[in-house]
A = this chain, B = another copy of it.
């Protein structure tokens, strides 16, 4: 049977996370950048996941993906154990320490796109090795808007292929410490100017609880973070932001500075729901109207009127 084609393809890590906060401890929760990003995007556009899991991956989690309406044609189940990560958050719920990383089946991940994904216009290259990001991009026929995320590991160990990724994407999204490491600049405006020179039209600098900054030739957009009453677990906030953004952009009628800004607000709001519970628990309960309501609130919070 021919699969319904997807509008947005997201590749990234799929993991079972064991997370410890000052208040709770959870074992083998559904996690990984691709889980958060796909769930977040699914509110706005038909999203296809490219990921690998082991035989031990609980069917409850694939059921959950289904409930989000995520296309799983690109999810490969292989012999072995699923990637596992465990970490502990400090009292401020921001700083975290990794306790262990078991790559398992993720170590030999080679992302292959099903045919139904190759016509996608939107591609989110989640945080995986730059060589794999390039491999995914090569399989998409005519991408209209590509975003890449990255991390310090690749900046330190695979800079050459990362630079190749950067020249091929429309937007680079990374956090403040990563962009400083990548560019050797400290001031964020200067960091972003450097990257805009390398090719991307847009640079998004994620600042966690303080929101994000969008830089483009058209100037700066200050992306506010929705202030939540209680952060339960910040894991996946950045990936939800990226996924929510790309889903919203893929669901927009056109790509412009205006729709990019509007989509970033949507990403920010989806991320604010993510941190209110562990794993995808909060997102699983959220409706599109909950999201709309928070977007309206967030707009009021940044308006003087």
A residues touching B (Cβ–Cβ < 8 Å)? 91-93, 186-190, 207, 210-211, 213, 219-222, 224, 227-231, 258, 261-262, 265, 297, 299-305
Cα(A63)–Cα(B193), bound, Å: 40
Q: Is the CB of B189 within 8 A of A229?
A: yes
Given A92-B186, A211-B222, A258-B304, 14 more pairs with CB closer than 8 A? A91-B186, A187-B229, A187-B231, A189-B227, A189-B228, A190-B229, A207-B210, A210-B211, A219-B297, A221-B301, A222-B224, A222-B301, A261-B304, A262-B304
Q: In the complex this chain forms, how many copies of it are found? A: 2
For A223, give the chain B residue with the smallest CB separation: B302
Q: In the complex, which residues of chain B have a beta carbon less than 8 angstroms from the beta carbon of A227?
A: 188-189, 213, 220, 222
Residue of chain B at shortest CB distance from A210? B210
In contact, A302 and B302 (Cβ under 8 angstroms): yes
Query: In the bound complex, how far is the Cα of B61 from the Cα of A206, in angstroms?
Result: 41
State the Cβ distance, A155 to closest chain B Cβ, in Å.
Answer: 18
Beyond A207-B210, A213-B227, A227-B213, whether A301 also contacts B187 by CB under 8 A is no
Quick one: closest B residue to A257, CB to CB?
Answer: B304
Residues of B within 8 A of A261 (CB): 303-304
- Given A92-B186, A210-B207, does the pair A301, B219 have CB atoms closer than 8 Å? yes
- Closest B residue, CB atoms, query A180: B92
Checking B186, B187, B302 against A222 with a beta-carbon cut-off of 8 angstroms, the contacting residue is: B302
Q: What residues of B have a CB within 8 angstroms of the CB of A228 in the complex?
A: 187, 189
Q: Min CB distance, A221 to chain B, in Å?
A: 6
Contact A230 B187 (CB under 8 A): yes
> In the bound complex, what is the Cα–Cα distance between A258 and B305 (angstroms)?
6
- Closest Cβ–Cβ distance, residue A24 to chain B (whole Å): 15
What is the distance, in angstroms, from A209's C-beta to the closest C-beta of chain B?
8
Chain B residues, CB < 8 A from A265: 304
* Identity of the chain B residue whose Cβ is nearest the Cβ of A213 in the assembled complex: B227
Q: Which residues of B contact A207 (CB under 8 A)?
A: 210
The 5 A-B residue pairs whose C-beta atoms are closest, nearest first, are A210-B210, A261-B304, A222-B224, A302-B302, A262-B304
